[in-house]
Structures are given as structure tokens and as C-alpha cells.
Amino acid sequence: MSEWAEGVSTIPICKASTPALARISRERGLGFDSREFARIQRYFRTEGREPTDVELAGLAQSWSEHCSYKSSRRFLRHAFASLQPPSRVLGTGDAGVMRFGPGFAYALRIESHNHPSAVEPYGGAATGIGGILRDVLAVGGKPIALTDPLFFGPLDLPESELPPGVKSPRYLANGVIAGIRDYGNRVGVPTVSGSISFDPSYVVNPLVNVGCVGFLPISRLRPNRADRLGDHLVLAGGLTGRDGIGGVAFASKELTDRSESESRGAVQLGNPIMKEPLIHACLEAFDRKLVRGVKDLGGGGLASASGELVHAGGFGSQIDLARVPLRERGLRPWEVWVSESQERMLLDVRPRDLDDMFEIFRRYDVPATSVGRVREPPFECLEWDGAPAAQLRVGFRVEPPILRRPTRHRAVSRRPSPSLPDDHIEAQFSELVLAPDSVSREPVIRLYDHEVQGRTAVNPLHGRVESPSHGDAAILQPQVAHWRGLAVTTASQPWACTEDPRRGAEWVVEEAARNLYAVGARPDAFSNCLNFGNPEDPRVLGDFESVTTGLGRAAKLLGFAVPGGNVSLYNGGLGAGIPPTPVLLATGLVPDIRRAITSDLKEAGNVLFLLGSSSPELGGSLWARRHARRGLRIPPTDPARLRLLGERLVRAGGVQAAHDVSDGGLAVTLAEMAFGGGLGFDVDLARTGLVSVGSALAAEGASRFVVEVSAPEERAFERSFRGLPCARLGEVTGEGAWIRWDERELTHFDLDALDQRWRDGLGLPG
């Protein structure tokens, strides 16, 4: 091309040496490695010309780890390709879509906004929420619920111990929570599930994972691909600015002590006041069949969205970047192409439907502009005010080569766990209940509106209104006229995955399933966010392979479909990495929400049962973390046995409350059930089958529940679990905690003071 548009420059690479290519990549923030840039060089030599800055910027977005999954895709296919049955999975695009009932479906997706939140916690978390809402909207779903699993360093870490350029965990946590609160509440979507975990390994790089569930009539389901030649490409929503430029490149490298100064511009600016009408306008246009295909503008901006949209349909495109509505003057063509400004959607609209679609968006006061057309393959032709700015084979840009990086699998420790002593039982109990990972999250949960839209049938806090406790899952009622419910939960276990990545990943899936069974739901699907370190380290990629293998195996045995997910690599920096941290957003189907189960104890005199086999292993447990014990064997997992237990629990009669045994073992499980109901318990820990009281309190064996059953139903409940491990643990009392061993009372202590310390223990926000 002899004449490029004004403002477009060419980059001389065709004759450049390998060191020169590396310098160009570094100076322009492109992120290409030597083999990738050599491949690009060969492409343009064949074309007989130098690339434009627009072309290289677009290639950098699509070839980034964040957009391409070039290091992880082969593992994902192996682990999850068989877990998308067409009878249940209706879509695997920007969000997974699952069949819900006759004529209706739900969408789910979870992803990360880790790097932006480390630099600017409020904006990073807020735009993470904005992005996940768009993913669900991009398949035709109305967002009905949000989730937020979060991981920070210890809140009490002294400033003097922070690495250079790293913000304090308390500052990060307060900013992230405020960003989630303000965006979710203002856009009118309830936050119903999540978690907050603390560990020194997240000091440099906190993890901010956000999930969304949407609901839709199946007739509204939209594909993430262009429909036919000549269709208009309509950019709708927020205006385009310089915020978010280079966001995917920033997310595809480790943090440094210069990330604050060098990458703040890569953090997008959210606008929930624009997002809310954008959602309504899109849904109305979808319902009227005016939109044939859709993509949200997230990582990589217009470059990624348009390329993926037309290539998925087998087309090319012609786009005039000068037609993109701008928030500020002076943006160069390449900046417009890759800006990640928020609240934008790209819509495929037939020419005959264009005026009707524009009328809808005008009525909602949402900008919408036709910026191009779907054209014959294989090229995307970009212009700037009518003059050429880029001409690339779209397949070359959006399908980078898959990398086969080396893997090295860690040696898994098989060291047995110690038998914990029987003395100082009250102190052991209190240590587990009052640990930072155990204390009440109510002060944070109350910041989020978890009942807006009126669909939340069981909210994330269970028990007394004035003093509730933690639940295992929330339950939504998507259709007012039907009692069928959708349970939503999150799960993660990075500490178990550190000790044994494959079995630790199975533990995570088991935790998600237990959370669902505990409220009366049958597991249906999960979306995963896989947070790992630098994939150029064979040990990291070895962990990744083991974790995905474990997730896939457990999902199959527990009946989970996996219609999609997200990969977040390069977490860490300054010589520190994160543990392998797979996070699940899991959903389950509730036949009748009127029979939903909550975790709070209901009535003195009721019977407490322990379902599942206890095991003494403490690897990855809260006790092990509190006592700095690494290298212990983790508890065995048995997804098939758990499925049998869970199915019988869902069908059993007389169940008044249920809570899964997880972080903190029986101590935390019993305490949370008692705190939520304002009652107490009298339990005989010898019936766990373990060898000591201390071990019985702290062990977190991966497949157990504590269940409260009304006294008249005790025998029938036991019969319903014939052939499966089911032990009568004790009874619900009016107050206090009695702990026995072989019917001999060992200790009795008051729960009220512990309850108050548990409620006040988090220290957030503030």
C-alpha cells in the first residue's frame, strides 16, 4: 500500500535483525517473543510491504496470552472438551449457556481482573464487574447475579515488609470491595456469592475474580459471530478514550515495581450509569431480532471484538476507525483500534434493521454508530476517514500459533499428618473459628445489594436477620411464576492445590458440589477462572496441566457440565508467585425453592448427623496454614461417593439445616451453624472415627456434611443413607457448646462471646 491515512505510520521490520525486532517489541509494548515476531516478519515480507502501527497493535492484542490462550488451550481442550453435552449446553461463547427449563436458559461466566486491581483497586474491580456483565449480555442474557472471589495478602502486614511498588493488602482490599459495591449496586445486579481469602503469596499480586449469571429465553440466545455479507457492524455504548490501551499486554506479563507508573493507563474507566441502559437497549434489540451476532468489547477492544466476530462467521470486515465516537480528541488510529474503554458492544445488524435498532438505542440515550460492514473473507480492511490504515488476513491475526511450552510436574508429598492433642479444646476451637479466613464476612456482604431485582430466594447470609451466618450457596428464582430455582456458589482451594495440584483441583470441584447439595440443589455446571503464574516456568505449566486434569475428572464424576471459563496467567512478580488458584463459579438446579435448605440450626432437641467419611490428613487445611505446616498429605477425594451422598441428601426428609465441612473443619462448620441459629450443640467427636479431639475439630476431609434433622425423622433419615457413611454426631442445644469423646464430657463453653468476636473479626471495610 503506497498511501496510508494521515496519522498512520509504518514500522520497518522486514529487514530487521532479531535484536532489532526485540527492541521494537519492547519499545512499543507489543509483547511478541522472537519466534512470533519472526512469523509476523515473514508474513509482511510475503506481502511485500512494512506493517502499519495499526496492524502491529491489533496483532499484539490478539496474540497476547490474555486473548489467545496460546499456552493453555491444549490443556483446556483435553480436560473439558467432553464436558459440554449438547442436551444441556446451548452455547460456549463469551459466556456458557445452559438449559434451565422449557424455553429458558441461563448463562454463566467467571474471569479475572487481577493486574488492573493491583495497580488501581477501585477501578480495576469495578471494570471487572463491567466486563463480566458484558460477557453474559453478549449471549443474550439479562444479568441476574454477581459473584466475587477475592484473594489478598494478610491485612495486618506492616508497611515496612511490603516490596517496592506494592500497595498494602488493606488498601487493596478496601478499594476492590468499594469498586465491586459501587458498580454492582449502581447497575442493579445483586452480588450473591463470593469469598475473601488471605495469604502472604497474594501480597504482590492480589486476585480479583468476578462472575456473573444471566437468564434468557432460548429464543433470545445470540451467537458471537457475524451473520452475512453486507451486515453493518454497529458500535454501541460508551465513548472511546485512551483508557485501557495495552490492557491485555499488561495482563500478559508479571507485575514489577514500575507497574504503578508504567501501566496505570492500561486500567479502564467504568461507567455503570451507561451500562444499565446499554443492557436494556441490547436486550430489546435482541428480542426484536434486530441483532444477528454480538461481541462485547473487552480485552483488545475493537480489534479483538471485530476480528473474532467476523472470523467466527467465516467473513472479513471493512471498518472506518474515524467513525468510532470518541471521548477526547487526538486519538491516533491505532489507539482507537485497541482502546479498551468500557461499556461497549459490537452488534451485527442487517441493513434493513438498522433504523429500527438505532431508534431503540436513541430511546435509551445510548450512542450507537455503524462503523463498518461485514465483507468477503479473508481480509479485514481498516480505514481512517476513508483512507487505508490496515489490511490483514483476519485469520492470521486472530488465530496465533499455539505454544507447546515444557511442563514439569511437582513431586507430591505423602507425609502423614500429626495427631492433634486433646487438651486446650476450647482454645483450639477458637483458633480455627477466629482465623482471618473464618471470621464473618457479613460486614462486606452487607455493602452489596444481594436482593435487587427480587429474584434472591435464599441470600448469602443464612439464619436470624439480626445475626446471620454464612451459607453455602445463594438461590435465585429466575421466573416469578415457577418455583424452580438456580443455586449459585463459588469454590477454591489454592492451599490443597499447592500440596497436590490434581487432587487439590478435585477437592475444589467437590467443594462446589457440596455447597450446592447443602442447599438442596443438584450440581449442573461450572465456569472456571484458572489463576496461575508465569507459563514460561515449566513448573507453573505442570501445575496447570495437573489442575485442569483434576477439574475435568471430578466434573465428569459429579455431573458438572463445563461450558466455558477463563485463564489468567503471569500472576506474580518481584520474585514472588501465587499458588495454583483455580476458582469455580458453580450452579445447581433446585426443583422447588420452597424446600431449600439453609445452614443455620433451627431447634433445640433436633439431631445432628455427620455424612461422609472423616480422614486425618491435614494437608492444605486451615490448621496447617495457621501452623506453617507444608508438605502434608491432603485428604483423599471421592467425587463418585460424594455424588451418592449429595443425591440422597437432596431427597431426604426431615432435613432442617445442612452445612458442608470445609475450611476450618468441624469447628468452623458447627460454629457457623450455631451462630446463625442462635443455638448450641452437644457433639461426640469420637463418632467421626478419628483418633483425637484436636484432629476431629481441624480435619477437613473433602466429602462431608453436618445435617440437622428433626427428632421424629431421625430413624427415617438414617435409613435413607443405608450403605453410606452416616453417623449420629449429637444434638442441637439451646445454647453453648458441649464436646464429648465416647460419651464422656470433655469441655463445655459459652458461644455468645465467641460469636461476637467472630462477627467483629474481619476488620473490613476500614
Instruction: State the burial class of residue 647 (Cβ atoms within 10 Å of its Cβ: 0-12, 13-18, 19+).
Output: middle
- Bridge partners (DSSP) of residue 326 are 240
Q: Is 414 exposed, middle or buried (0-12, 13-18, 19+ CB in 10 A)?
A: exposed
Burial class from Cβ neighbours inside 10 Å (0-12, 13-18, 19+) for residue 724 reads middle
155 conformational bin, left if phi > 0, alpha if psi -120 to 50, beta if neither: alpha
Q: How far apart are CA 533 and CA 154, in angstroms?
A: 20
SS3 439: coil
Element (H, E) at 214: strand 207-217
Query: Are the CB atoms for 560 and 527 separated by under 8 Å?
Result: no
Q: Which residues are paired to 317 by β-bridges?
A: 374, 380
Q: What is d(CA 50, CA 71) in angstroms, rounded to the nearest whole number?
A: 28
Extended strands (E) in 265-384: 293-296, 316-320, 344-349, 368-375, 379-384
The answer, yes or no, to whether the previous bond of 639 is cis (omega within 30 of 0) is no
Phi, psi of 598 (to 5 degrees): -120, 170
Q: Which one from 113, 115, 232, 659 is the annotated catalytic residue?
A: 113
Cis bond before residue 418 (omega within 30° of 0):
no
For residue 359, the tally of other CB atoms under 10 A from its CB is: 12
Q: In whole angstroms, what is the distance from residue 153 CA to residue 610 CA?
A: 34
Question: Strands of 379-384's sheet, edge to edge?
Answer: 293-296, 344-349, 232-237, 368-375, 316-320, 379-384, 387-393
Which residues have a Cβ under 8 Å from the Cβ of 756 and sit 6 or more positions away?
none
- 163, containing H or E segment: none
Is residue 232 flagged as an active site residue? no
By the 8 A CB rule, do 730 and 670 touch? no
**Contact assessment for residue 38 and residue 82, using Cβ atoms and an 8 Å cutoff:** no
Cα distance between residue 445 and residue 457, in whole Å = 16
Q: Is 748 annotated in the active site?
A: no
Residue closest to 490 by CA, chosen among 613, 590, 588, 390: 588
Q: Are 100 and 215 in contact (CB under 8 A)?
A: yes
DSSP state of 36: H
CB 525 within 8 A of CB 108: yes
Residues tagged active-site: 66, 113
